[in-house]
Amino acid sequence: MLKSLPVTCALTVALIAQEQPIKTKVHLVLVPATVTDKKGNLIDGLSVDDFVVTDEGVRQKVHMDTSDTVQAPVSLVVLVQSSGISTPALQRIKLVGAMIQPLVIGERGQAAVIAYDTEVRVFQQFTSDGGKIRAALENIEPRTIKQAKMIDAVIEGMTMLDTRPENYRRIMIVLGESRDRGSRKKLGEAVEMAQRAGVVIYSLTYSAQGEAWTSSSENAPPMPGGPDYIGAIGELARMGKTNEADAFARGTGGRHLSFLKVGSLEAALSRTGEEIHSQYLLSFVPQESKNMGLHHIEVKVTNFPDAVVRARPGYWPEK
């Protein structure tokens, strides 16, 4: 049965002499892996023997879940930036709400919706109802012109995902700019939390400045007194800061895709759903170690030297 990464599972060991079972706790590390060729085409049909997984450089004995890969339910949190500067993109996001249920969570999955600007607001608790998911996205309206607390929203989403059953895959999709605007929490803290909870984050981002140049006037963010040239200069300076969207995707084994128009957003969302339901679910029981910090994982496909593998870069031992 599929569980989140990392997870504690109970193994029952029968003592022949006493004929009484005892339970011992074993730390099982799950490593969802997406495998593509250099052109980005998904490679399917691989077996466990095709994979080499190392933990701190040491090869591990790997198991691959072959029965629940496609059927394992998905718990998804959709984060939507709702600051005023995102108005044009928000109009596009509202048009793709109907895609979440059939393409991403499937019939047995669940999704919740969060909007973030100066605040982090839950618009929809977990539901399997595609209509409610679509309505939640449609009800999000732009607010404060620029502030967007992405990191704080990610942490709120992980808190919600922590309530989901262990056999659900924990996924997050961030629909917003690639950089945070004003969160109280720190990026490193959020990435570590995601790694500990086994949350895979897909960042689907846009440029607010690019949106402003390509949008029609009725969708453009308000600019009292005319174009905000000084603000635009500030945006260029901000581009040199940490790219949180990249950090979340790379740190959790997800992916960072960008969009500008409805067509590219639909393609990015479709690709995300395809990858989620095409992952190889690898696992191993790590050897005892004194290292209580991040353990680095590397996943390779032996028979396909040109394969591109995306998997979480590491795990944290249980405290």
76-86, pLDDT tens digit by residue?
999 999 999 99
User: What pLDDT does residue 319 have?
Assistant: 66
The one-letter amino acid code at 144 reads: T
**For residues 139 and 136, what is the distance between their CA atoms, to the nearest angstrom?**
5
| Residue 234 buriedness (CB in 10 A; 0-12 / 13-18 / 19+) | exposed
Q: What number of other Cβ atoms are within 10 A of residue 37's Cβ?
A: 12
Strand ranges of the sheet holding 199-205, from the earlier edge strand across to the other edge: 120-127, 110-116, 74-81, 169-176, 199-205, 255-258
The one-letter amino acid code at 311 reads: A
Q: pLDDT grade, residue 293 (50/70/90)? A: confident
The answer to the question of residue 25 being in a domain is no
Average pLDDT, the chain: 82
User: What pLDDT does residue 208 have?
Assistant: 74
Q: Are residues 181 and 204 in the same domain?
A: yes
Q: For residue 231, is pLDDT > 50? A: no
Note the pLDDT tens digit of each residue in 147-169.
Answer: 999 999 999 999 999 999 887 88
User: What pLDDT does residue 28 have?
Assistant: 83
Q: Are residues 62 and 80 in the same domain?
A: no
Q: Which CATH number does the domain housing residue 235 bear?
A: 3.40.50.410
Q: Are residues 126 and 239 in the same domain?
A: yes
The answer to the question of residue 295 being in a domain is yes
Q: Are residues 145 and 254 in the same domain?
A: yes
The answer to the question of residue 141 being in a domain is yes
**For residues 40 and 307, what is the distance between their CA atoms, to the nearest angstrom?**
9
Q: Are residues 154 and 98 in the same domain?
A: yes
| Range with the poorest average pLDDT among 68-72, 116-120, 127-131 | 68-72
Residue ranges with strand state E in the chain: 7-15, 20-36, 51-55, 58-59, 63-65, 74-81, 110-116, 120-127, 169-176, 199-205, 255-258, 280-284, 295-301, 308-311, 314-315
- Please report, rounded to a whole number, the percentage of residues in the chain having pLDDT higher than 70: 79
Inter-residue contact 317 to 86 (CB < 8 Å): no
Domain count, the chain: 2
Q: Are residues 286 and 254 in the same domain?
A: no
Q: For residue 179, is pLDDT > 60? A: yes
Domain that holds residue 301: 30-69+279-315
- Sign of the dihedral through C-alpha 53, 56, 61, 67: negative
Residue ranges with strand state E in 16-91: 20-36, 51-55, 58-59, 63-65, 74-81
The tokens describing 255, both together, are: 């992916």
